[in-house]
Amino acid sequence: MTDIEAETPAIEVRNPGTGDLVGTVPDQSAAEVAAAVRELRLFQPEWEAIGADGRKEWLMKLQDWIIDNTEQLADVLQSETSKPRADALIDPAFATDLIGFYARRAGKFLADDHPSPHSPLARVKRLTTVYSPYPVVGVITPWNFPLAMPALDVIPALAAGAAVLLKPSEVTPLSALELARGWAEIGAPPVFAVVTGGGATGAAVVANADYIQFTGSTATGKKIAAACVERLVPYSLELGGKDPAIVLADADLDRAAHGVAFGGMFNSGQVCISVERVYVEAPVYDEFVAKLTDAVAALRQGLDGRESKHDVGGLANEAQVAIVQRHIDEAVAAGARVATGGKRTGQGTLFQPTVLLDVDHSMACIREETFGPTLPVVEVADEAEAIRLANDSQYGLSASVWTADKARGERVARQLNAGAVNINDVFANLFNFALPMGGWKQSGIGARWGGAAGVRKYCRQKAITTPLLPTAQKELTWFPYQMPKLMVALGAMRAAGARGKRRFDLAGVRKIQGGSK
């Protein structure tokens, strides 16, 4: 792997599955971050000026580069995460899909809007909304998807016309550097840069950029929000999750069991929208638990090279292993049972996929974000109890509902306090860029994507009014006030906006006119 020589202190990057050193990156200072932002500011105006079509050409070249270098990108990604090969290949494929969506549509999404006037009086003006990008967008990403997570926000921001400074997690910075290498190799304008380092480096990004997009823990998100408020800089946060799955008695239990197993164990449970709680109606509880336990126990766990042999790999680091083990141990001590798994394998950070039974809301495995391969399952009496317990959380990122009745599924979905709900599926919203992806409650502020909103979020809106009719020397409402003319204007406003007889009640106007000189 590539070593980056620098005068600043170095951060070692290790494969969590083997412990092998796979690279070093500089722990860059606040001064270096500020210099990177200044450099980006120099080139951003030209990037904005080439327009959406010009930016599309560069983004599509980046897409070509990602496709042509997929195997190398997967190698790097595996080296710093110990993901199975199949999981490692998802990141570049996801980035490719996202680039195609926003590069091709940014022109339409960023075109001037001409909203209809709200009343006949306003039709004397042509109304225009213009979208101008923030000069430098700062993107701070976590370690769970080292290539896909940067792409989620870097691509829409670039498509919007902003320059982007990316600070990846110090645990997995190598894939982000590969993305920057690709940008440089295609000869793109220098409006995308990566800085590496720990918390101080991230804080410097927050202190210098014009818009902050952060994905990570709720605790860190709150600190970033406070810093942005102090600077009056806009921000968007995707934070923690504790996503519930509700399995109703009429569900296809085989599909539900396989779907929940995938939703809880994909990437070893290290996904912001992982299934982390399961509520099952009593009539099918035993049958569902048996199917889920079988599905989880059958997962193949281990470390892959370029070949794909396993379903589940290792956790990102020892700190994550400790959280998973604590949640399981505390639950068992409080009366929970382990249906399968429950311990680490003895190889690196691999932790057995685990199903926990007899759990309740007093336990950390239900209340706190685990971010690991555990599925606590709760038996509920009915749909109402499932909804109540699913909503009994500080988080609200996403959820899933499993039922044969689509209307029932939608009815339940509308009652869940979450930013997204998938019916008879998991993660489906993540692959539909026309939908917004955002959290409620402690799961975040703002959203990414949502079609046009995904690029417009990185823009400032400007309102422009243009006269459509010949203009006089002054308007009726300008100085010096002439009460009869002013009352005509105010009466017209009332007639256009009010309802019923009040629209035409001019008694008040006549009274004012009578007392005016």
pLDDT of amino acid 488: 87
Write the DSSP symbol of residue 486. H
Question: How many degrees, rounded to 5, is the angle at CA 484 between CA 478 and CA 490?
Answer: 65
- Domain match, 395 and 277 both: yes
- Domain match, 213 and 99 both: yes
- Domain match, 308 and 248 both: yes
Which residue in 217, 237, 284, 298 sits closest to 437, CA to CA?
Answer: 237
Q: Which residue stretches of the chain have pLDDT < 70?
A: 1-7, 506-517
pLDDT of amino acid 170: 98
- Domain match, 65 and 172 both: yes
Q: Which residues have CB under 8 Å from 168's CB, separation 6+?
A: 141, 143, 146, 149, 150, 175, 176, 177, 194, 196
> Domain for residue 377, yes or no?
yes
- Whichever domain contains 76, its CATH number is 3.40.605.10
Q: Which residues have CB under 8 Å from 507's CB, separation 6+?
A: none
pTM: 0.95
Which residue in 380, 381, 376 sits closest to 293, CA to CA?
Answer: 376
- Domain match, 210 and 269 both: no
> Domain for residue 437, yes or no?
no
- Domain match, 205 and 65 both: yes
d(CA 310, CA 316) in angstroms, rounded, equals 17
Alpha carbon dihedral 282, 284, 285, 289, in 10-degree steps, equals -170
pLDDT of amino acid 506: 62
Residues forming beta bridges with residue 128, ordered by sequence position: 464
Locate 370 and state its tokens: 């685990």
Annotation says 238 is catalytic: yes
- Residue 158, amino acid: L
Locate 274 and state its tokens: 């992982």
Return mean pLDDT, the chain: 95
**In Å, what is the CA distance from 498 to each residue of 116, 490, 501, 502, 505?**
19, 12, 9, 6, 10
d(CA 406, CA 106) in angstroms, rounded, equals 34
- Domain match, 198 and 273 both: no
> Domain for residue 13, yes or no?
no
Locate 43 and state its tokens: 């080139």
pLDDT of amino acid 504: 82
pLDDT of amino acid 289: 98
d(CA 6, CA 3) in angstroms, rounded, equals 9
Range of the domain at 408: 243-432
**Residue 191 near residue 43, CB atoms below 8 Å:** yes
Q: Which residues have CB under 8 Å from 59's CB, separation 6+?
A: 99, 102, 103, 155, 158, 159
> Domain for residue 427, yes or no?
yes
Q: Of the residues 238, 281, 379, 383, which is catalytic?
A: 238
Q: How far is CA 28 from its chain centroid?
A: 26
Residues forming beta bridges with residue 460, ordered by sequence position: 132
Locate 257 and state its tokens: 């069991």
**Residue 447 near residue 436, CB atoms below 8 Å:** yes
- Domain match, 253 and 169 both: no
- Domain match, 214 and 302 both: no
> Domain for residue 314, yes or no?
yes
d(CA 346, CA 339) in angstroms, rounded, equals 20
Question: How many degrees, rounded to 5, is the angle at CA 301 between CA 299 and CA 307?
Answer: 110
- Domain match, 338 and 482 both: no
- Domain match, 133 and 251 both: no
- Domain match, 232 and 262 both: no
**Tokens 């009578």 label which residue?**
514
Q: How many domains does the chain fold into?
A: 3
> Domain for residue 467, yes or no?
no
> Domain for residue 121, yes or no?
yes
Continuous segment of H or E residues that includes residue 56: helix 51-68
* Pairing mode, strands 447-449 and 436-438: antiparallel
> Domain for residue 49, yes or no?
yes
Half-sphere exposure of 344 (CA within 13 A, CB side): 17
Which residue in 246, 250, 299 sits closest to 425, CA to CA?
Answer: 246
d(CA 424, CA 411) in angstroms, rounded, equals 14
Q: Which residues have CB under 8 Å from 201's CB, separation 6+?
A: 27, 28, 29, 30, 33, 167, 170, 195
- Whichever domain contains 325, its CATH number is 3.40.309.10
